[in-house]
Amino acid sequence: MFTRRTIPFIIGSILLVAVAFLFLTRALDWTYVSELYKDEPAVVVVPDAEPVRTVELELGVMLPEEQYNELVLLSQRVSELHPHIRVKIKNFFDDHLTFEEWEKLAQLGGLGDVQLVNNEWVVPLAIQGLFQPVDRLMNNDVLSDQFPSVVDALRWNGYMWAIPYETNPYILFMHKQAFDEAESNDLTPEITIPFVLDESLALKGGVIPTNPSSEQDEQQDQSEMMNLSFEYLLDRYQQAKSFEGPLLSIDSEHMNGILVWLSMWYKDQDQPMQLGMLNETQYDALHFLQQNVELMKPSMEIDESSIPFLYLVTLKQYYEQRELIDTNYVTSKLQIPLPWLNGKSFMISAGTKEAEAAMLWLETLNRYQPEGTVVHRKIYASYSNDSMQLLIKDILQQKLLASQHFAVDLHWVKRYEQLEQQWREGASLSEKLEVFINGSQ
């Protein structure tokens, strides 16, 4: 209980505490504190963005100067889109590496993260385990936009092992006299394209419609497969009595041309061709040509005085002679027997630590093309303003037959290089054909 003597003491203590509290807090600006939290917005703290990591890629190629410069130019365009990816291109052209030498350098890691190789090297290199499949890394839209007849030759064991870069196939044109008079006119359709490609293949005109026009669909019917047997072609040539030129042209510098002819005269549609092994039809055809060498034009260039009945030429060379070819041949009936041959593709090393960056770079480069070659990606080809690219697109949309492949084993490319060397050493067309005639016996 409080007594009269303790009550004053308690009241005094309370007053003393109150005075002390006021003395200690007199320096505080209560107005500032109240205003500080009045209507104060929430502050969001954003951490500093991490800088994009620069990736260094090494690219190994074996290209002559002109083609090397084209690749450097295209690489610069890709660098503008992905500045964090820096690519160093090393050219081994002066070393003239064989397949075996390239293989050994790849095993030692001396060719870089990405390598540009001939299409016929892709599967033999993949078999060695030196590279990694590209389809596991590719964007699905990019993967589905590749031409089947090109990438089919880059597949092995259920995977795709390379991304096309230069597709420059051999194209067969037949002279207008090879057809009936009703078929002799140039059947190339006139097509109006609302979206065109500039020289860098950047699309213009806004959003691309997803379905190609019906006019473009009809081109497939116009480029149906024809009878390309040697007997039929020779018969058509002999019936064109007013035709004074040779029967066919042949690339005397490279063996690829004769492989294309042999592929058209290959009868077994269910089996890949054996390199250097002729069936009876192929043997008879080459033997006939060897005995009648005057029926062949040993050049890939023509003029008004030397137009062959059947003209086999690469796409690049077609563009160089386009006016003359369009005038004398039924260009809408062109054939591409081996679409993948004479092309180059990129492979990604199994040992690279920058596979994702390499794929991003390659997918971007895949939008472009070296001058005079096939437009990569179906969507770009569909809306090209070049009628030849449109015709080729429809052919390359088709999957390859088994007979459009060569039977490949670990020694396939070595055999290929041996035949190529023997072909070049031949002093005449007759000697060059002997390379294959002897090999089949």
Q: Is 193's pLDDT higher than 60?
A: no
pLDDT of amino acid 5? 67
Task: Give residue 222's pLDDT band: very low, low, confident or very high (50, 70, 90).
Answer: very low
Burial class (CB in 10 A: 0-12, 13-18, 19+), 316: middle
Q: 279 vs 116, 232, 264, 420, CA distance in Å?
A: 33, 17, 12, 20
Confidence band of 43 (pLDDT split at 50, 70, 90): low
pLDDT above 70 covers a percentage of the chain that reads 78
User: CB under 8 Å to 178, separation ≥6 — which residues?
Assistant: 233, 236, 237, 240, 309, 310, 330
Choose the weakest-confidence range: 47-51, 84-88, 217-221: 217-221
Whether residue 155 has pLDDT greater than 90: yes
Instruction: Work out whether strand 296-297 and strand 55-61 pair parallel, antiparallel, or are unpaired.
Output: unpaired
Structure tokens that stand for 211 in this block? 């379905």
342: left (phi over 0), alpha (psi -120 to 50) or beta: left
Long-range Cβ contact pairs of 356-362 (< 8 A, separation 24 or more) = 356/137, 357/55, 357/57, 357/85, 358/57, 358/113, 358/114, 359/134, 359/137, 359/138, 360/82, 360/85, 361/57, 361/78, 361/82, 361/85, 361/87, 361/114, 362/114, 362/134, 362/163
Residue 188 has pLDDT above 60, yes or no: no
Could you read off the pLDDT of 340-364 as tens digits, one per residue?
Answer: 999 999 999 999 999 999 999 999 9
Task: Calculate mean pLDDT across residues 96-124.
Answer: 95
Average pLDDT over residues 157-163: 96
> In this predicted model, which residue has the larger pLDDT, 288 or 32?
288
Q: What is the pLDDT of residue 192?
A: 32
Would the pLDDT of 33 be above 80? no
What per-residue confidence (pLDDT) applies to 57?
Answer: 96
| Number of residues in the chain | 441
For residues 84-92, average pLDDT: 96
Q: Residue 182's pLDDT band (boundaries 50, 70, 90)?
A: very low
Residue 249 has pLDDT above 90, yes or no: yes
The whole-number average pLDDT for the span 420-434 is 94
Q: Are the beta carbons of 60 and 107 closer than 8 angstroms?
A: no
* Model confidence band, residue 267 (pLDDT cutoffs 50, 70, 90): confident
Residue 22 is predicted with a pLDDT of 59
